[in-house]
Amino acid sequence: MKNVMTIIATSMLCACGFMTPSQQYAGDRLAVTDIAVLQSYVENPLADEYHATITGYAKITANGLREQKDFGLPGFTDYPSEINVLPGEYEVQVYCFKGFSSERPKKTLMLQAGQKYLLKCGVKDGQAFIAVN
Q: Does the pLDDT at position 4 exceed 60? A: no
What does the domain layout of the chain look like in residue ranges? Answer: 2-132
The SS3 call for residue 32 is helix
pTM: 0.78
- Residue 13's pLDDT is 41
Percent of the chain with pLDDT over 90: 44
* Tens digit of each residue's pLDDT (9 = 90 or more) over 17-66: 445 568 999 999 999 999 999 999 888 767 788 888 899 999 998 887 88
Query: How do beta strands 66-70 and 36-40 pair?
Result: unpaired
Q: Which residues partner with 69 through β-bridges? A: 57
Beta strands in 1-133 (DSSP E): 18-19, 22-23, 36-40, 51-60, 66-70, 79-80, 82-85, 88-98, 101-103, 106-111, 116-124, 127-132
pLDDT score, position 17: 45
DSSP secondary-structure letter at 28?
S
Q: How far apart are CA 9 and CA 5, in angstroms?
A: 6
The predicted pLDDT at position 122 comes to 86
Average pLDDT, the chain: 82
- Cα(56)–Cα(15) distance, integer angstroms: 20
The pairing of strands 106-111 and 88-98 is antiparallel
User: Which class for 57: exposed (0-12), middle (13-18), buried (19 or more C-beta within 10 A)?
Assistant: buried
